[in-house]
Amino acid sequence: MTIDWTNFTPWSALAGGLLIGIAAGSFVLFNGRIAGISGLLGSLLEPGSEGRGEKALFLLGLLVAPLFWLLSGSLPEVEFQTGWPGLVAAGLLVGIGTRYGAGCTSGHGVCGMARLSPRSLVAVLCFMASGFATVFVLRHLLGG
């Protein structure tokens, strides 16, 4: 294993992580809810789910984050390396998988881990493992 030191950004990663944790912590302290993006979005897609106002407002805050970011400077880099067939496949798998698995990197990865949930630990180990495996196959076995 070689470390990519030129792209390694420990301080912004840690600081961004802290903001994410504080945001998730505030949501549970004030609203009593889990800041899991797939769960919030999936529940808004189901007619008649409870707490739609609060869920929608959390997601609205998330959506307008880049507009607030622009007040302080230019947006951080966003570089896609996947063509349209890959993006469609990835979106479908992420949509179905997070709903069956009841969470994603936010709901299981941050909130679930922080509340020491064994289910979330298993979920994180599963999506990390298949994420690592997928990149290995696409980049090193097929991409050659």
Site for another protein in 70-99 (CB under 8 A): 75-82, 84, 86-99
Compute how many residues bind another protein; rule: CB under 8 A.
Answer: 113
Least distance CB 102 / another protein (angstroms):
6
Least distance CB 138 / another protein (angstroms):
7
Residues 113-132 that bind another protein (CB under 8 A): 113-119, 122-124, 126-132
Distance CA(140)–CA(78), nearest Å, equals 23
Nearest 5°: phi and psi at 6?
-65, -30
Distance CA(107)–CA(127), nearest Å, equals 13
Kindly write down the DSSP assignment for every residue of 34-91, as one continuous string.
---HHHHHHHHTSTT-TTHHHHHHHHHHHHHHHHHHTTTSSPPP------HHHHHHHH
Residues 4-63 that bind another protein (CB under 8 A): 4, 7-10, 12-35, 37-38, 41-42, 45-46, 53-55, 57-63
Least distance CB 22 / another protein (angstroms):
5
